[in-house]
Amino acid sequence: MAVPRRSSARFPAVARSAGHYESFYMKASHPSQHLGVWIRYTVHKRPGEGPKGSLWCTLFDRSREDSPWAVKQTTTDVGALESEYIHVGDSVFTPGTVTGQAEGEGRSASWQLSFETEEEALHHLPRPWMYRAPIPRTKLLSPHPGARFSGRVEVDGQAVELDGWRGMVGHNWGAEHAERWIWMHGAGFAQDEEAWLDAGLGRIRIGGYMTPWIANGVLSIGGERLRLGGPARIRSTDVSEAPTRCDFTLPGSGLTVQGTLEAPRDDFVGWVYADPDGSEHNTVNCSVADMRLAVSRPGRGSIQLDCDGGAAYELGMRETDHGMAIQPFADG
């Protein structure tokens, strides 16, 4: 079955005078091991300059001493044909396939993946006008929030076969990153293999004021999508974040989700993310994290959802004294 297009690249229409960043990315995790893949195709454009494209590939594999293993490659050859989400050089991300290769710092990787899904896109921002407005300056959606990946990833000669691994495809873009952000995704829960959670949380700076955490996402359970967060629920949203763990309470429409998301320090990859204005964030990501959720629905009781190794946790931050190793690849 052909996978329908659920989003389109924005960067081809951005004026040369404007700054812009954009990424299409995928995450997939083995159903029973702490083994996962995270691949990202990005665009970085400074004001007055043309866009640059980068390929990022990370293999999370606890059986390897050098895990997580990562590589990044940057080029000016970037575009988006009608049949694609994006291409960077000869590496192409389409609705249904992710193929490519990257080399850097003496490392090399290649991937030939396909994915299947019947899920509709998840628009994290709760109102369509928010995708047109100047604020928030970061826009986020998941074209395919629940997908199954098959194919092969090779890193420095080691082949990893994917056979129906659960995961997702995401897309974000904007004029600048949030001042601080969290992205989380969980799939393959022990109590409900079809359930998934996909949420983006951000704190943005407006003048000299930084907002509290604003969460936007969905818990899909039993085939029903339950929206979480939103600007109206800021006061009841509670987040305690650290580079290796996040404890959170996300209120929603007729439910509350309390959870933890964590992984050992050695399971995280660290990157520099640059903004178009030249500023930078340090970002840590683990795509084989453990997620624990307690879902409370008035009149329907509570349920527990546990996911070992099938969750992603990403934290973007300004500080550099977090003690996490950062990959030797520049951005921007």
Residue among 129, 130, 128, 122 at smallest CA distance from 146: 122
pLDDT bracket for residue 332 (50, 70, 90): confident
Q: What is the 3-state secondary structure (H, E, C) of 22-57?
A: EEEEEEEECCCCCEEEEEEEEEEECCCCCCEEEEEE
Higher pLDDT, 135 or 224: 224
Segments making up each domain of the chain, as ranges: 21-317
Dump pLDDT digits (tens) for 7-57: 999 999 999 999 999 999 999 999 999 999 999 999 999 999 999 999 999
Q: How far apart are CA 184 and CA 18, in angstroms?
A: 29
Percent of the chain with pLDDT over 70: 100
Dump pLDDT digits (tens) for 157-185: 889 999 999 999 999 999 999 999 999 99
The tokens describing 170, both together, are 């995401």
Facing residues of 276 across strands? Answer: none
Q: How far apart are CA 263 and CA 312, in angstroms?
A: 10
> What is the CB neighbour count within 10 angstroms for residue 100?
22
pLDDT for residue 154: 97
> What is the CB neighbour count within 10 angstroms for residue 71?
22
Q: What is the 3-state secondary structure (H, E, C) of the chain?
A: CCCCCCCCCCHHHCCCCCCEEEEEEEEEECCCCCEEEEEEEEEEECCCCCCEEEEEEEEEECCCCCCCEEEEEEECCEECCCCCCEEECCEEEECCEEEEEEEECCEEEEEEEEEECCCCCEECCCCHHHHCCCCCCEEEEEEEEEEEEEEEEEECCEEEEEEEEEEEEEEEEECCCCCEEEEEEEECCCCCCCCEEEEEEEECEECCEECCCEEEEEEEECCEEEEEECHHHCCCCEEEEECCEEEEEEEECCEEEEEEEECCHHHCEEEEEECCCCCEEEEEEEEEEEEEEEEEECCCEEEEEEEEEEEEEEEEECCCCCCCCCCCCCCC
Q: How far apart are CA 146 and CA 187, in angstroms?
A: 8
Q: How far apart are CA 96 and CA 120, in angstroms?
A: 14
What does residue 290 show for φ and ψ, rounded to 5 degrees?
-100, 135
> What is the CB neighbour count within 10 angstroms for residue 70?
25
pLDDT for residue 1: 62
pLDDT for residue 208: 84
pLDDT for residue 301: 84
pLDDT bracket for residue 300 (50, 70, 90): confident
Q: Is 299's pLDDT higher than 90?
A: no
The tokens describing 246, both together, are 């996040």
Dump pLDDT digits (tens) for 63-75: 898 999 999 999 9
Dump pLDDT digits (tens) for 108-118: 999 999 999 99
